[in-house]
Copies of this chain bind each other. A is one copy, B any other.
Amino acid sequence: MTGQPTDLAALQRRLVEFAAARDWEPFHTPKNLAAALSVEASELLEIFQWLTPGQSSAVMADPGSAHRVRDEVADVLAYLLQFCAALEIDVLAALAAKIDRNEERFPRPGRPGDPPAG
């Protein structure tokens, strides 16, 4: 461990500097980063493709599988952050706005005993 900060913005900066230091920026078009993101998401899915729902819930019990899952999760987030950096998208604001929209689109259902709406 490097003792570096691990908030989202700091990790995004590390990823951008990492790519710049290796002259990878010409490869990092938004189109290529979107393709790489989808490839990594599929590598995560591959771990689960033949598992039953129950087996999929127990996947972290095996250390080898747990490492592989964490590794693919990290790759997905890494390409998502690099994609958002390339297009200057604030990913947390985008998600907050989406949750706001979903709360209007899928209203919270009433529960037995809830006071009637309105």
Contacts and interface: CB of A to CB of B under 8 A. Distances in A.
Contacts of A27: 50
24 contacts: A7-B8, A11-B92, A11-B95, A11-B96, A15-B99, A18-B102, A22-B108, A22-B109, A27-B50, A29-B53, A29-B57, A30-B48, A37-B45, A39-B43, A39-B46, A42-B42, A52-B53, A57-B86, A71-B94, A73-B84, A73-B89, A74-B94, A74-B95, A74-B98
A62 interface: no
Contacts of A57: 29-30, 86
A90 to B, nearest CB: 9
Given A37-B41, A46-B39, A73-B80, A99 B53 contact: no
A84 B70 CA distance: 9
Contact of A108 (B21, B38, B53, B86): B21
